[in-house]
Amino acid sequence: MPQMNCIVVGSGPSGAAASKALLDSGAKVTMLDVGHRLEPERQRVVDQLAAQEPALWDKSLVESLRGGMDVGVSGLPQKLVYGSEYAYADPFNAVRLVQHGTELFTSQALGGLSNVWGSNLLPFLGGDIGDWPLSSGELAPFYQRALELMPYAARRDGLSGIMPLHAEHYRPLEMSRQAAAIMADLEKHKARLARQGVAFGQSRLAIDARQCRYCGLCLYGCPYGLIYSSAQTLENLKAHPDFKYMDKASVESVEEREGIAEISVKSFPSGQKTTHRADRVFLAAGAVGSAKILLQSIGAYAREIEFKDSQYFLAPMLRFQGTEGVESEKLQTLSQIALVINDPQTSRKSVEMLIYTYNDMFDRALGKLLPWHFLKKPFLSRLFVVQGYLHSDDSTPIRMSLSQEGELNMAPGTNPRARTAMCKVKSKLREIQSSMGAFAIPGFTKLGAPGKSYHIGASFPMRGKPHGFESDTLGRPVGFGRVHLVDASCLPSIPSTNITLTVMANAMRIATLAARE
């Protein structure tokens, strides 16, 4: 059998995962990517920091990484990496988002949004994907293969009962002292929480726990590169003789003719247009990027499509008892504890809550309200934040249409359930907060704007019998036989429990099965 020739579009987690599975299946892969990179002057700062242990760091270099994230009391600032916005930049004006009431970000970077992600890894629950045309059992082997691509900080605990770990190479991170105190309270009330439909455990993160220095910079980007980005997988793939990477290449459209897929690409900065041919094309440009390519390919201008969103909320909480010395503690600052709520009174689908304990942004945000340290200190010792996610059934969707001029117009859609969902979640939080030894600060629990969770997709959902803007179970949109969507575009819904691990597993599933066809 001749070797299958494949093009993968995008180097984010879905593109990296699909490419790995295709190479493992014996195919030849060319990855086309915009591939924007960190500014060289910032890379030099990161390299300088990475060459030393935290105790020897020059404080001005650390401050330059922290700069740019303007922390306020009203919510989270846009998360940057190494002080740079490059992961969200549209350097060649190829995406052209026009937003009315949504807060979406797309990526044209090498490694996509995984350069800035929080690295939370939980699979989807069977109950949350019961209406999908594939089961969690079919995804299970691919969860394992996706996890093999990254470091895995996790432990066997209360969450493993409902969510298998799916891999053996896990190693836990140390919890912050505040998180350990919250965990002790949760353990004390484990039986009551189980009756309330709450499972909990340590957050599972794509961090190399063996090498972590607990320097507290995770939210600004790890100087040692210990937080997984798919750019790391790409580096490994480049060593494969059947893999080729081309950057500064923006894919515009794809069509099928005479048993082959043909893809139109614009190269930057020259603006030169070329065509590439392949047996199969795998679109992994992120949900918005892939939708734009598809709509351009079929000439669907001014036709509206809908993205499903897993909306997020933030709830600042105060512990009844403080933990002294949090400001000087050596700790990691991504999420510490994950709670998964399965309570039909709250929602028919699960709700995820991630607990973030002290980080210096709390200090800076509180400093704006309470400029004197003696006033701030008792709050800092008690403050933590719950960042929660709703299932897309409980969230506001996002409408998008492509104009003839190439602009993507985005606006919130409607979902009557979204109006009541957040009230129910707030009431659930009140019900369980004493088991965390804490209370939610009244008036501060806020729902994020549609798109702000970065967990969106389902624009061309997989169906057993697809119609219109839907795809088959190998992510092929109606009308295509050789073009596969492998990012979140083809997921039928967006459950609450962090999207990327499932996106990667599904990309590997589609790539593996497509290579066998």
Interface residue list for ligand SF4 (CB under 6 A): 207, 212-218, 222, 224, 226-227, 332
- Nearer CB in complex with ligand FAD: 253/409: 253
Tell me which residue of 496, 360, 493, 312 sits closest to 506, measured CA to CA: 493
CB 491 within 8 A of CB 497: no
Peptide bond into 269 cis (omega under 30): yes
- Nearer CB in complex with ligand SF4: 104/218: 218
Residue for token pair 């690295």: 119
224 binds, among ligand SF4, ligand FAD, none (CB under 5 to 8 A by kind): ligand SF4
- Nearer CB in complex with ligand FAD: 193/410: 410
- The tokens describing 361, both together, are 């942004």
CB 482 within 8 A of CB 416: no
Q: Which residues bind ligand FAD (CB under 6 A)?
A: 9-15, 32-35, 79, 94, 105, 107-109, 112-114, 116-120, 249-251, 284-286, 289, 293, 454, 487-488, 498-501, 503
496 binds, among ligand SF4, ligand FAD, none (CB under 5 to 8 A by kind): none
- Nearer CB in complex with ligand SF4: 217/501: 217
- Distance of alpha carbon 274 from alpha carbon 265, whole angstroms: 5
- For residue 166, the minimal CB distance to ligand FAD (Å) is 14
217 binds, among ligand FAD, ligand SF4, none (CB under 5 to 8 A by kind): ligand SF4
Helix 13-24 with 136-147: angle, nearest 10 deg = 90
CB 114 within 8 A of CB 500: yes
- For residue 32, the minimal CB distance to ligand SF4 (Å) is 31
- Nearer CB in complex with ligand SF4: 92/214: 214
- For residue 62, the minimal CB distance to ligand SF4 (Å) is 11
Phi-psi region of 276 (alpha: psi -120 to 50; beta: other; left: phi over 0): beta
Could you write out the three-class secondary structure of 261-292? EEEEEEECCCCCEEEEEECEEEECCHHHHHHH
- The tokens describing 342, both together, are 């399965």
- For residue 216, the minimal CB distance to ligand SF4 (Å) is 6
- Distance of alpha carbon 291 from alpha carbon 477, whole angstroms: 11
- Distance of alpha carbon 490 from alpha carbon 486, whole angstroms: 7
- For residue 16, the minimal CB distance to ligand FAD (Å) is 7
- Nearer CB in complex with ligand FAD: 193/501: 501
Q: What is the DSSP letter of 31?
A: E
- Nearer CB in complex with ligand FAD: 415/497: 497
Q: What is the dihedral of CA 300, 393, 76, 59, to 10 degrees?
A: -80
- For residue 483, the minimal CB distance to ligand FAD (Å) is 14
- Nearer CB in complex with ligand FAD: 176/229: 229
- For residue 185, the minimal CB distance to ligand FAD (Å) is 24
46 binds, among ligand FAD, ligand SF4, none (CB under 5 to 8 A by kind): none
14 binds, among ligand SF4, ligand FAD, none (CB under 5 to 8 A by kind): ligand FAD
284 binds, among ligand SF4, ligand FAD, none (CB under 5 to 8 A by kind): ligand FAD
